[in-house]
């Protein structure tokens, strides 16, 4: 099998006011025709810069200092705009050009980009124009590189939409990106990359922002299309589980250099470089032993100060009467839509039932995982607990120093003291921090709002908080933009602990982080739970992450909890078809344990109407919980032989 692409000793610098930054320091690898190569590393390792260099879309501040990007493709012969000095070989089927010698703005490179080499970007929403339909954006590449009419372009675009699995391709042609789910937007991005049948597809973190079930569908789709079209794939990712399921060869990069490369089995079965071994140790997986910890590349050294330790002896944390700290009963949330029916829009507003009869309890000192795909309602539940979103019905009972209080019945002033005891940790570590405030201001703001302490006390507590999450007191005068993603998330944790809460709601706190940084944050959260006596409601779409940190797990789909059980029980004996799909969709960092695509119910795992008996209820009906023993409950028809039915 001949080499389609060869990158030889590629060096790239970024020119800044402070001097050059060496982004790539001599990277070399090859991609054979029809094969899949994974480029693996953390954020900042140079993976995406490599992909941008191949596509010719480097930022203006970037400069290729040396090296070659050799692309061998007979289809390039006779292509106008390719300068003679870039042609390395022109003999028979061997027509090789050095892309590093070509100006990315010349017609020859523009003819290659999008036609023979295409890219799938990480974030489909920001990569697509919100002002143009899906069909227009896909057919634009076709009309640019092929001599076809508008009618032919529409027909070919509809065909490629059908190829990537759109349920109604003709209708999808006229939809806008905001009208599609994340999975369908990513499929549209894949359609745009494949419409010209490229020889090489660069997939830059194509599934990082997606739910695990959607991610599995996208990975299977790329594999199927690769076989059908005979194209090569360069998979850029930090997820070793994804690598184990799609790659044939692996290139591990760190700080712009190749640490290790080889075949898939060699990389996973015999990792030689300490960096690769550390990456493998940092990935959470289902067969971890009791008490086993993740091993991040760099451990966080933290310690608790006397102000934070003082809470252990205070009255409001010593109450443990055996009752749950939080009880959620029959919680409902209905959102009213803006569109109205009838003449002049005078009809009844449309509504969406986002949360439908949610019930669970949370014991003091426990971590309960709430798992489900985007749109299932789990974040809405957390916001209703915080009273950031008003519930349409149900009860939220909080054990306030032995006194049970229904949070939904409290007025806004009455909620203020409760907010000190329930804090929130956000998903986006950058968007949740004010860029105009220093870390000191961010950490002391909750104390100022609740009128706690004087300036000296607040600064001392902020210093303890910054040490608690493994940062230095010198960081207090810096702004959020000067920190990495993992450091910003640690600042978010410190802020959520400033009021020394009893309950911490963690909403996807590690979904945007590299696996090594993710391991740091998960270990830190487990340590803080023990040291400060915290109770967690941990929201995530990744079951492997929840398996590591939670004692019990509630699985949520389409606004309902469909199964709840202790973590060991849930993974050893998943009963509901949606839970089985979630478990099977988590990519495991082992080539011997591939994803079971058949368990995903052909992409309909999250559609209640596609569930088999006895888990399928009629439209508008809610099935009862069936108790299977030892705290394991699943929604199913009573009398189905699964166990004893209960509310």
Nearest to 571 by CA among 317, 371, 344, 427: 371
Confidence tier at 7 by pLDDT (50, 70, 90): very high
51 burial level (CB within 10 Å; 0-12, 13-18, 19+): buried
Look at the block and give the residue holding tokens 């908080």. 465
What pLDDT was estimated at residue 600?
Answer: 66
What pLDDT was estimated at residue 441?
Answer: 96
Q: What is the DSSP letter of 176?
A: -
Residue-wise pLDDT for 85-98, tens only, equals 999 998 877 899 99
Quick count: other Cβ atoms within 10 Å of Cβ 620?
A: 7
What pLDDT was estimated at residue 251?
Answer: 97
Average pLDDT, the chain: 87
- With contact defined as beta carbons under 8 Å apart, do 194 and 213 qualify? no
- Cis link prior to 614 (omega < 30° from 0)? yes
Position 205 pLDDT exceeds 60 = yes
Confidence tier at 619 by pLDDT (50, 70, 90): low
Four-residue CA torsion sign, 413, 414, 420, 423? negative
Q: What is the DSSP letter of 539?
A: E
Q: Higher model confidence: residue 225 or residue 321?
A: 225
625 burial level (CB within 10 Å; 0-12, 13-18, 19+): buried
Residue-wise pLDDT for 463-487, tens only, equals 999 998 988 898 899 999 888 788 8
Task: Quote the CA–CA distance of 48 and 45 in Å, as a whole number.
Answer: 8
Position 106 pLDDT exceeds 50 = yes
Confidence tier at 303 by pLDDT (50, 70, 90): confident
554 burial level (CB within 10 Å; 0-12, 13-18, 19+): buried
What pLDDT was estimated at residue 185?
Answer: 85
Residue-wise pLDDT for 487-541, tens only, equals 888 999 999 999 999 999 999 888 778 888 889 899 999 999 998 899 999 998 8
Position 38 pLDDT exceeds 90 = yes
Position 381 pLDDT exceeds 50 = yes
pLDDT, mean of residues 332-349: 64
Task: Quote the CA–CA distance of 126 and 177 in Å, as a whole number.
Answer: 10
* Consecutive H or E run containing 359: strand 349-362
Q: Higher model confidence: residue 583 or residue 634?
A: 634
Task: Quote the CA–CA distance of 539 and 511 in Å, as a whole number.
Answer: 10
Position 135 pLDDT exceeds 80 = yes
Complete DSSP assignment for 403-438: EEEEGGG--HHHHHHHHTTEEEE-S-TTTTS-TTS-
What pLDDT was estimated at residue 312?
Answer: 47
Percent pLDDT > 90 in the chain is 49
What pLDDT was estimated at residue 633?
Answer: 94
Residue-wise pLDDT for 554-596, tens only, equals 999 989 999 999 999 998 899 999 998 888 888 888 898 888 7
Position 296 pLDDT exceeds 70 = yes
List 16's β-bridge partners, or say none: 19
- 3-state DSSP helix/strand/coil percent for the chain, to nearest 5? 35, 25, 35
- Looking at 206-364, list the stretches that DSSP marks H as alpha helix, in order from N- to C-terminal side: 212-229, 240-246, 264-269, 274-281, 306-309
Q: Is 0.85 surpassed by the pTM of this model?
A: no
List 70's β-bridge partners, or say none: 6, 98
Position 342 pLDDT exceeds 60 = no
Domain ranges of the chain: 306-336+349-573
Position 318 pLDDT exceeds 60 = no
Q: How many residues does the chain have?
A: 647
Confidence tier at 301 by pLDDT (50, 70, 90): confident
Position 327 pLDDT exceeds 80 = yes
pLDDT, mean of residues 394-415: 93
DSSP-derived 3-state class of residue 220:
helix
Task: Quote the CA–CA distance of 192 and 161 in Å, as a whole number.
Answer: 9
- Looking at 174-325, list the stretches that DSSP marks H as alpha helix, in order from N- to C-terminal side: 182-194, 212-229, 240-246, 264-269, 274-281, 306-309
Quick count: other Cβ atoms within 10 Å of Cβ 190?
A: 26
pLDDT, mean of residues 137-158: 89
Position 606 pLDDT exceeds 70 = yes
pLDDT, mean of residues 295-303: 81
pLDDT, mean of residues 159-167: 85
What pLDDT was estimated at residue 314?
Answer: 46
Position 269 pLDDT exceeds 60 = yes
Task: Quote the CA–CA distance of 89 and 98 in Å, as a whole number.
Answer: 10
pLDDT, mean of residues 183-193: 85
Position 416 pLDDT exceeds 50 = yes
Domain 306-336+349-573, CATH = 3.40.50.300
Nearest to 407 by CA among 337, 464, 326: 326
Position 346 pLDDT exceeds 60 = no
What pLDDT was estimated at residue 305?
Answer: 77
Four-residue CA torsion sign, 634, 639, 644, 647? positive
3-state secondary structure 138-164: HHHHHHHHCCCCHHHHHHHHHHHHHHC
What pLDDT was estimated at residue 583?
Answer: 86
């Amino acid at each position: 099998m001949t080499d389609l692409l060869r990158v030889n000793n590629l060096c790239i610098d970024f020119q800044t006011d402070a001097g050059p930054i060496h982004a790539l320091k001599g990277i070399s690898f090859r991609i054979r025709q029809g094969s899949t190569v994974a480029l693996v590393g953390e954020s900042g390792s140079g993976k995406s810069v490599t992909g941008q260099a191949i596509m010719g879309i480097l930022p203006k501040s970037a400069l290729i200092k040396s090296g070659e990007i050799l692309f061998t493709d007979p289809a390039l012969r006779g292509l106008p705009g390719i300068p003679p000095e870039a042609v390395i070989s022109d003999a028979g089927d061997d027509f090789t050009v050095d892309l590093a010698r070509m100006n990315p703005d010349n017609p020859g490179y523009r003819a290659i980009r999008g036609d023979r080499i295409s890219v799938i970007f990480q974030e489909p929403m920001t990569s697509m124009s919100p002002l143009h339909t899906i069909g227009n954006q896909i057919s634009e590449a076709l009309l640019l590189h092929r001599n076809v009419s508008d009618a032919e372009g529409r027909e070919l675009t509809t065909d490629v939409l059908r190829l990537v699995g759109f349920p109604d391709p003709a209708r999808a042609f006229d939809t806008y990106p905001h009208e599609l789910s994340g999975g369908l937007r990513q499929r549209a991005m894949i359609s745009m990359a494949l419409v010209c049948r490229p020889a090489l597809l660069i997939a830059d973190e194509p599934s990082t922002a997606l739910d695990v079930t959607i991610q599995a569908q996208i990975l299977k789709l790329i594999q199927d299309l690769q076989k059908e079209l005979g194209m090569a794939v360069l998979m850029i990712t930090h997820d070793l589980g994804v690598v184990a399921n799609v790659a044939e060869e692996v290139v591990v990069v760190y700080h712009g250099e190749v640490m290790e490369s080889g075949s898939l089995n060699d990389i996973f079965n015999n990792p030689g470089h300490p960096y690769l071994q550390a990456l493998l140790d940092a990935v959470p997986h289902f067969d971890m032993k009791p008490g086993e910890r993740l091993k991040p590349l760099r451990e966080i050294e933290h310690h608790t100060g006397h102000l934070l330790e003082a809470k252990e002896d205070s009255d409001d944390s010593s109450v443990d009467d055996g009752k749950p700290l939080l009880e959620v009963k029959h919680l409902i949330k209905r959102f009213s839509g803006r569109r109205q029916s009838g003449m002049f829009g005078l009809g009844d507003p449309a509504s969406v039932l986002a949360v439908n009869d949610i019930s669970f309890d949370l014991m003091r000192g426990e971590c309960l995982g709430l798992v489900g795909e985007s749109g299932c309602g789990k974040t809405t539940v957390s916001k209703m607990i915080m009273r950031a979103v008003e519930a349409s019905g149900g009860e939220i009972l909080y054990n306030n120093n032995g006194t049970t209080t229904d949070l939904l019945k409290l007025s806004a002033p009455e909620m203020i003291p409760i907010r000190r005891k329930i804090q929130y940790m956000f998903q986006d570590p950058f968007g949740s921090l004010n860029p105009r405030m220093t870390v000191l201001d961010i950490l002391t703001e909750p104390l100022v709002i609740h009128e706690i302490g004087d300036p000296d006390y607040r600064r001392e507590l902020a210093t303890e908080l910054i040490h608690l999450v493994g940062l230095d007191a010198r960081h207090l005068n810096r702004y959020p933009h000067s920190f990495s993603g993992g450091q910003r998330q640690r600042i978010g944790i410190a802020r959520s602990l400033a009021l020394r809460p009893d309950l911490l709601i963690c909403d996807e706190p590690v979904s945007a982080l590299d696996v090594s940084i993710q391991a740091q944050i998960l270990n830190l959260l487990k340590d803080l739970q023990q040291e400060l006596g915290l109770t967690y409601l941990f929201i995530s779409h990744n079951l492997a992450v929840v398996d590591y940190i939670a004692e019990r797990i509630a699985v949520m789909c389409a606004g309902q909890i469909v199964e709840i059980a202790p973590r060991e029980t849930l993974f050893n004996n998943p009963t509901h078809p949606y839970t089985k799909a979630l478990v099977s969709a988590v990519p495991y960092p082992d080539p011997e344990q591939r994803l079971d695509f058949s368990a995903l119910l052909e992409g309909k795992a999250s559609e209640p109407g596609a569930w088999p008996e006895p888990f399928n209820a009629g439209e508008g009906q809610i099935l009862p919980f069936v108790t299977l023993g030892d705290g394991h409950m699943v929604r199913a028809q009573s009398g189905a032989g699964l166990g004893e039915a209960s509310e």
